A and B are shown apart, each in its own frame.
Chain A
Amino acid sequence: MAILIYGIINSIALAIMALGFALVYGVSRVPNFAHGALYVVCGFVTWSLLRGLNLNYLVSIILAMIITGVIGALIYQFVLIRVRGMAISEIIASYAIGLAILEGFRWWGFKGMTYTLPVFVEGSINIGDIPVDLHRVVIVGICAAVVASLWLFTHYTRIGLALRGMAQDERAALMLGIDSDFMAVVAMAFGSMLAGLAAILLLPLGNIVVEAGYNVLILAIAVCIVGGLGSWMGAVIAAFIIGFAQILTVVYWGAHYQMVVALLAIIFTLILKPSGLFGRQKELEERV
């Protein structure tokens, strides 16, 4: 029972980490390796708005998410757009940006236990006889709402439909008058905001540390690869697979192996079926 509840919570946390990465890759085919850095940036901006400027928690959350979105859009507009289509340059450039941001924070003295965000709701409830923090329940609720609204957004609004069109066939989308560069910027902004949202939801459970950026990046990549790069539903389902696998290893082996599971999942998925469980990449593009 405990495994089931914590497995679901862990899976949902993974899903929210990965959705932003999946969104950006799905639309613009840019693997955004700065994802983890944006996660930390949003956590830090929220913290400084909350503690430094003494703003309301809700206001600082919204502001921080907007700022993160703008940073993501700027990264795309000024750097990534110039190397688009060159897969390796994209990886190296975005990874270097992420590295610069994260190590910049570390140099600036951003480490230790001092940076924490408050939880939304104090206290805990019992599900069955397992105590669960209310904050984790709130996370599950918000994530379900986000996934649902993302689905509605991509199926019923103009921009959402344009994003899906881009993801399916960029040339056809161009012919129908969709500005692909602009849509990619929009997608990057949305992806960054989702990374920020993940940060705001998950960081109150621990401290804001630089290492979180690297871990989030690895987990997001793991989830997206297992689910199939570019497939949003695949990412959610893969989050559940990896989430439960992690909780099971923690229960039966030990917490050390949590990351090993994610990394092994990446390697085995890539070796056995590189397009992932639900990927729609053509077989020839990925392997010989």
Chain B
Amino acid sequence: MNIEERRKERVDRGIKVRTDGIYAIMSLRELSYLTMPRLVLIVGLLILPLVMPGMYWQRVISIVCIYSLLAISFDFLAHFVGLVCLGGAFFIGIGGYIAAILNTSFGFPPIFTIPISTLLGAAICTVLLLPCLPLRGVYFAIVSLMYPLLMARIIEALNILGGTDGIVGVDSFANRWIEQYFVLLMVLLSLFGMRRLVNLDIGLVFRAVKDNDQAVRASGISITFYKAIAVFIASAMGCLSGACLVHIYMWSGISQFALDFSIIPIAATVIGGAGTLVGPVLGCFILVPISELLRDFGTLRIVFYSLILVAFIVFRSEGVMVYGQRKYHQFERWVKI
């Protein structure tokens, strides 16, 4: 009696191999193999506000986009630079408060407050995080988790910036179409911008910092400088989303430093697929609508997505996007050993 042993083998699809080199693309089929996933994403995102039933779900789209921006910035920092930043809420809060102050105290319209708060907020975040940049691993994660909590407590204790009431009366976007298409375009822009960036020379340095920082230092490159640049880029995305959030809700308050903004992007990244940049966006489009559907259950939805997060991290740590990419590019077959 002989036992036949088999194992699963993964082989790249022929079309993937052919389209890897740019010179080989010669048929429409190969062209569409390359462009279809990107086109589906872009066109899908752009027509999404048109097909949504009612105002409520259109608002949800804007919120999804805000979380997506945060999730992209988390994914970029964690999986391309090696800084796991658990304090996404810090970026949101800083950007949001700056936008709110500029709008209510100085009377700038949203078209000015958003870019200003993006750049200024990113600069402030970078300067504040600068002392902890030499830290790595768990230490950076914990210290960045503490920053938003500290900001909220300080605002509460000093009773500045509106204290616990927050800043009310912020202008909204001109109309809801501008609001939605603005955040959608920002998501697309940062998504493809980041994909481009991590493949440039500077992206190479970022990944080297993640994989082996000693080697980077030995090459005469300042690690802290590059980490600071990465934090600036990531926090710019976070502050941008914070500024948009404030203009959407027409209000800025301590709850922007709440843990929601730190945990949902991380959950989305884990579910969507870490290190793909598209995955986090996909994760947000899965998670946030689910959490909206469960709004009636109150805090039970936090329980719900915490459990999803645990399940994914323990059993399926690769995420949806990596799985999808594998199925798209490769086929599997059983082979005899």
State the A residues within 8 Å of B (CB).
31, 79, 82-83, 87-89, 91-93, 95-97, 99-100, 103-104, 106-107, 218, 221, 225, 254, 256-257, 259-260, 263-264, 266-267, 270-271, 274, 285-288
Q: Which of B3-11, B109-117, B309-317 contacts A (4 or more CB under 8 A)?
A: B309-317
**B300:A103 contact, CB within 8 angstroms:** yes
CB of A205, distance to nearest CB on chain B (Å): 22
**B143:A97 contact, CB within 8 angstroms:** no
Pull 16 A–B residue pairs with CB atoms less than 8 Å apart, ordered by A: A79-B314, A87-B137, A88-B141, A89-B313, A91-B142, A97-B306, A100-B303, A104-B299, A221-B142, A256-B156, A256-B157, A260-B153, A264-B150, A270-B132, A271-B132, A288-B217
Known contacts A93-B310, A270-B143; 11 additional CB pairs below 8 A are A87-B141, A91-B86, A92-B309, A92-B313, A96-B267, A96-B307, A100-B306, A100-B307, A260-B157, A286-B136, A288-B223
Number of interface residues, chain B, beta carbon within 8 A: 45
- Is B254's beta carbon under 8 Å from chain A? no
Query: How far, in whole Å, are A95 and B266 apart by their CA atoms in the complex?
Result: 12
**B137:A286 contact, CB within 8 angstroms:** yes
**B303:A97 contact, CB within 8 angstroms:** no
**B317:A257 contact, CB within 8 angstroms:** no
With contact pairs A260-B157, A288-B213 given, residues A99 and B306 touching in the complex (Cβ less than 8 Å): yes
Chain B residues with Cβ below 8 Å from A270 are: 132, 135, 139, 142-143
Give the most central of B214, B266, B302: most A CB within 10 Å: B302
Chain A residues with Cβ below 8 Å from B217 are: 288
Give the most central of B214, B259, B302, B306: most A CB within 10 Å: B306
Query: Which parts of B203-222 form the interface with A (CB within 8 Å)?
Result: 213-214, 217
Q: Closest 8 CB pairs between A and B?
A: A256-B157, A100-B306, A103-B302, A96-B306, A263-B150, A107-B300, A103-B299, A287-B134
**A91:B303 contact, CB within 8 angstroms:** no
Closest A residue to B157 using CB positions: A256
Closest A residue to B263 using CB positions: A99
Chain B residues with Cβ below 8 Å from A260 are: 150, 153-154, 157
Query: How far, in whole Å, are A257 and B224 apart by their CA atoms in the complex?
Result: 32
